[in-house]
Amino acid sequence: MFLSLLGFAAGGSLKLAFKDCGAAHGKSTGLTPDTVPLGQKTALIGSGNIDEGVSGGTFEIDLKASIISQTFKGDMCASKSFSLPLGTGTITWKGMKCPVAAGSVDVPIDIQLSSFLPGPLQNVQMTIKTAATNNDDVLCMQVNTSPADVLGLPSVAATAGMTCPGSGAWFTHAKTQVTAMVKASCADVSAEIEARASAQKGWVDPHNGGIYSIISHTDTEVQTQRQANPKHSVGGQKYIDKQVFTLVDKDGSCEVSACSESQGTSYKDFSTNYCDIRNLYCGSADGCKPVLHDFSSTQQSVKASSGQSDWSACVVKTEGVTIV
């Protein structure tokens, strides 16, 4: 029924707005709360008035967001859960207390959304209808969502010098940002990143044999590109991510601010963008194989739009097929 259900945004919360859409035997009058925080379960209550008693019936939710169009149906008196597209969350229609007497009615709904939602899905329109067993239209509500906080994709605010490569993805894409302190000069860090990305001395990406290349290189910034190795990617696809490493010397160490973005439409990246970054400067203590310089590092922050930044996924065997 009243599913403000599907707020889609990238971080923060969603604002909910509703209007009655004209059922013959009822009117929608309220929806609380009027915002939904992302990343946690929220209990919503839709309210209305009906002019006839209802022993049972059905509900239908028509959802539209960007290119997504989906319909959910069920018994209005029974609880039913739905998984939302692209792994963005779940909604539970809690069910109306049947039989429902004429007069005021409440409809409880539980909603839990991912902390990271694609920008194109921030604005959702849902038309929620209920009908009695005799097909009388009982209630109808249209719910629209919008981001309460205009945040865009998550970012790491700790470092003012963070630069990201951007993406040409037409819909939404995975993105990871990392800051770290490396016990070395930035000149040595830059040289090591360049050596690995250029496959010097036969270096091989430990994350499924990805193929790196250098876009540009200085002592203070390195831009790289990683292509998935078609021998080890699903369907032999050549997925491409781009990275920017910004390097600043500080007190005998090098502050690394790195950002990696998928260049094609993606949502979950199985930690690939995170590994794209870490595997170019990790040391032997991390299980990596240095080329020119071996150093230790301390990660200060990580923000992954996919919610996935698992180091154990970064140093793996190259046999078999793996999603990259």
Q: Kindly list the structural domains of the chain, giving each domain's residue range(s) and its CATH number in brackets, ordered by start.
A: 13-147 (2.60.40.770), 175-313 (3.30.530)
Q: 223: which strand partners?
A: 216, 244
Q: For all residues of the chain together, what is the average pLDDT?
A: 85
What are 69's two structure tokens? 């169009």
pLDDT in tens, 16-50: 888 899 999 999 999 999 998 877 899 989 899 99
CB 232 within 8 A of CB 322: yes
Residues 6+ apart with CB under 8 A from 135: none
CB 155 within 8 A of CB 179: no
- The number of residues in the chain equals 324
Burial class (CB in 10 A: 0-12, 13-18, 19+), 208: buried
What is the pLDDT at residue 318? 41
CA-nearest of 196, 243, 227, 231 to 322 is 231
Cis-peptide into 99, omega within 30 deg: yes
Question: Within the chain, which residues score under 50 in pLDDT?
Answer: 1-11, 149-159, 318-324
**What whole-number distance in Å separates Cα of residue 14 and Cα of residue 4?**
9
What is the pLDDT at residue 88? 74
What is the pLDDT at residue 234? 66
CA-nearest of 38, 37, 62, 89 to 143 is 62
pLDDT in tens, 234-287: 667 889 999 999 999 999 999 999 999 999 888 789 999 999 999 999 999 999
